[in-house]
Amino acid sequence: MILTKGQPVSERTLARKRLGTCAHCPKPAEAGRVNCAECRVKYNLVSKERARNWKAAGLCMKCGDPEVVTGISVCARCRLNVRLTSFRQTGVPKAEVEKARQAALVFDGICQCCGNANPKCKGKKEWAFDHDHVTMMFRGIVGTGCNAALGLAGDSSIVCTLMSEYLERHHR
């Protein structure tokens, strides 16, 4: 089988694994690894050195973006891409994953549930790709706090309305 750049990454990866070749060169990969011994050492050292230099300069360790939050070595855009990768593994249809990817490209950093610019949304610490667990349809990018609240309410607008009324009765 010939590997071409036009193939989707997953197809190329599977073909390379079947052939047992290194991810970086045509040499055979080490048993249980994706690289040959030489490339494993070479690329591991290169990536560690690059990451160390970028981190020291206050840049994102993945893309080099200067917009890194203090104390976090990866920018918000790269963290969102990591979340998108895990969203793909939830069983959501490919068309919905593509909608989520498009939403991530134009995401403005505002929770689409509460309108808060803080990803914590008075809760945890990251953005989440929200989807309906019954229809598996992507709904939007929300803070993990809002995502947890929606999940705990069973994705029910009736429960959320009752919760809102409860807060109104108690002057919140």
Is residue 161 a part of any domain in this protein? yes
Task: Please state the domain count of the chain.
Answer: 2
Q: Rounded distance, CA 118 to CA 125, Å?
A: 9
Residue 103: the pLDDT is 92
Residue 114: the pLDDT is 87
**pLDDT at position 80 over 90:** no
Question: 118 or 99: whose pLDDT is higher?
Answer: 99
pLDDT digits (tens, 9 = 90+) for 82-110: 888 888 888 889 899 999 989 988 888 88
**166 near 159, Cβ under 8 Å?**
no
Whichever domain contains 87, its CATH number is: 3.40.1800.10
Is residue 44 a part of any domain in this protein? yes
**Which of the given ranges, 6-10, 109-113, 118-122, has the highest pLDDT on average?**
109-113
Residue 3: the pLDDT is 45
| 94-105 vs 76-88: helix crossing angle, rounded to 10 | 170
92/47 same-domain check:
no
Q: What is the band of 119 on the pLDDT scale with cuts at 50, 70, 90? A: low
pLDDT digits (tens, 9 = 90+) for 35-69: 888 887 777 766 777 777 777 777 787 777 776 66
Q: Rounded distance, CA 87 to CA 22, Å?
A: 28
50/120 same-domain check:
no
Q: How many CA atoms lie within 13 A of 154 on its CB side?
A: 6
Is residue 3 a part of any domain in this protein? no
108/26 same-domain check:
no
Domain holding 108, by residue range, is 76-169
- Dump the DSSP string for the chain: ----TTS-HHHHHHHHHHHTB-SSSSSBPPTTSSS-HHHHHHHHHHHHHHHHHHHHTT--TTT--S-PPTT-SS-HHHHHHHHHHHHHTTT--HHHHHHHHHHHHT--S--TTT--SSTTTTSSSSEEEEE-TTT--EEEEEEHHHHHHHHHTTT-HHHHHHHHHHHHHTT-
Residue 153: the pLDDT is 92
For residue 140, what are the β-bridge partners?
130
Is residue 68 a part of any domain in this protein? no
Region label for 109, one of left (φ > 0), alpha (ψ between -120 and 50) or beta (otherwise): left
The percent of residues above 70 in pLDDT, for the chain, comes to: 84
